[in-house]
Amino acid sequence: MAPPRKGEGKALGTVSGSLLITGFGPFPRVPDNPSARVARRLAGLPHLRRILGQAPDCLVMDARYAALDTQLAPAFANNPAAVLMIGVAASRRRVCVETRAVNRVSRLFPDAGGAVSHRLALEPGAPALRRSPAAQAVQVALERAGLDVAASRDAGRYLCNASYFRVLAQGRPAVFLHIPMPPRTKRPVRAGRPHHDPEAWVAAFAEAARVLMMRARRS
């Protein structure tokens, strides 16, 4: 893991509410979702707790549409100051910063419980899309931390997009990070390829968390 940069160890000061970190449990074709492991690993970093001045909350959601109401909504009862969301996109080759979520859902892909949406809009009457004002700053932070990252305008039509659309409605600093599937081999990742290394993701995502909480403090 990369050593802290100068000034990283300083707490951000008092912020009303903690950081909420989310990941997902298994879903069809992904029985072991790496986003859950990365989310838990990040939330447990002593270094991140020192930076934030408090321990972040961690929520690993079921990959079911019902989880938006039964798990995600209750998490906001704790009034998180900012939200860092992590999901897996098997087709991606590097970490992607999702810049927006759209008010659309696919009828083709069932959730982990076999349920398929019966409507095309996530929230009828809501805007067609919601953007993350924090996405660009988070991308810059990840690049400075050494990750090869890309901005993305497509968070999918599944739970990643649905949960992001719901979170962005809250008006808190929030961003969704899609990670690729980690290598299946247990051999060390070759030098110079941190975008394939979950440990490098965790270290860099701590920087993303710091940026989100800084924005929360300013607001």
pTM score of the predicted model: 0.88
Q: What is the pLDDT of residues 173-214, one digit of tens each?
A: 999 999 999 876 555 555 554 557 899 999 999 999 999 999
Alpha helices of the chain — where are they, by DSSP H? 34-43, 46-52, 67, 73-75, 135-144, 159-168, 198-218
Residue type, 201: W
Q: Is residue 103 part of a domain?
A: yes
Q: Per-residue pLDDT tens for 29-58? A: 788 999 999 999 999 999 999 989 899 999
Residue 64 phi/psi, 5-degree rounding, is -130, 145
CATH classification at residue 81? 3.40.630.20
Q: Which residues are catalytic?
A: 98, 160, 178
Any domain includes 2? no
Domain hosting 145: range is 19-218
In-domain check, residue 50: yes
Beta strand extents in the chain (DSSP E only)? 19-24, 57-61, 82-88, 95-98, 100-102, 129-131, 149-152, 174-179
Structurally, the chain folds into a number of domains equal to 1
Per-residue pLDDT tens over the stretch 97-149? 999 999 998 877 788 888 887 778 999 999 999 999 999 999 999 999 999 99
